[in-house]
Amino acid sequence: MHEWPLWEVFIRSQHGLAHRHVGSLHAADAEMAVRNARDVYTRRSEGVSIWVVRSSDIIASRPDEKDALFEPSDDKVYRHPTFYKLPDEVDNM
């Protein structure tokens, strides 16, 4: 029979941060994926919430599109606070 599908695992730690990708695993279905994620990725109180998603459902950007996708932001220096030179008296704004 064929291999169990691959799932990506996201964990949210206790400190109010967003879910973060921690790794992947194989499981026959979503329920088993959550259970396995608990066993593999939260054995030492790494988190309080688990998301799993089938790896095949993830759409990713392509490395060869990197320039087209991300380069324009470099031209828009006015988006950064450091672009604005303020008088010394108020520069900690």
63 binds other proteins (CB under 8 A): yes
Distance CA 93, CA 80 (A): 13
Whichever of 30 and 86 has its CB closer to other proteins, that residue is: 30
Considering the complex, state which of residue 22 and residue 34 has its C-beta at the smaller distance from other proteins.
22
> Which structure tokens are listed for 59?
């759409």
Tell me the chain's radius of gyration from C-alpha atoms.
21
Number of residues that bind other proteins (CB under 8 A): 20
Looking at 62, 76, 79, 80, which residue binds other proteins (CB under 8 A)?
Answer: 62
Query: What is the C-alpha separation between 93 and 86, in angstroms, rounded?
Result: 9
Instruction: Report the nearest approach of other proteins to the CB of residue 20 (Å).
Output: 11
Give the nearest distance from C-beta 76 to other proteins in angstroms.
Answer: 24
Cα distance between residue 13 and residue 84, in whole Å = 36
The end-to-end CA distance of the chain, in Å, is 63
Which residues contact other proteins (rule: CB under 8 A)? 1-4, 6, 22-26, 28-29, 32, 39-40, 43-44, 60, 62-63
